[in-house]
Amino acid sequence: MKLAEALIERAGLQKQNRAIVRHIEENVRLVEDEELAVSIDNLMRQYEENMDRLSELIKRINKTNSLTEMNGGTITDVIARRDCLNSQISAYGDIYDNAISHDRHHHNNEPRVKYIRHINCKELKDRIDHLSQEFRQLDTALQGKNWTVDLM
């Protein structure tokens, strides 16, 4: 099995478990005389089986990621960099949006308030664009690598 296939299976199990939990939640309390739509015991068993498989997959994915070389480090190193880039892009994007928001919300009939920015919006936007490009490149490289690596 390729690493990418394991990641797809992991995502499928997580999605299936969220649906199972929703079904259980919908059926734990019913109006008197209402019949259960599904067996909660069967759903709980399926959830536990999925969790056992998920645990095994996660261990194997983590082992593969930590032992597979990529870009002068490991896949784990690249994932950490990508995750940090994603956080930076999000934070800087929020800061940028806040810095320019007063310009967008000015109405003609309101008195104009003068704001002084204490950040260079063009430099920040350029930084966001640079980080976004690096993120896309890393993410694309990771996706490609995932299809060439066998799951350990």
Packing angle of the helix pair 75-104, 40-67 (nearest 10 deg): 110
- What is the distance between the terminal CA atoms of the chain, rounded to a whole angstrom? 9
Range from 9-13, 27-31, 39-43 that averages highest in pLDDT: 9-13
Q: Which residue has the higher pLDDT, 104 or 92?
A: 92
pTM of the model: 0.79
Distance CA 144, CA 116 (A): 45
Residue ranges of alpha helices (H) inside the chain are 3-27, 40-67, 75-104, 121-146
pLDDT score for 35: 79
Are 141 and 70 a contacting pair, CB within 8 Å? yes
Other Cβ atoms less than 10 A from the Cβ of 93: the count is 15
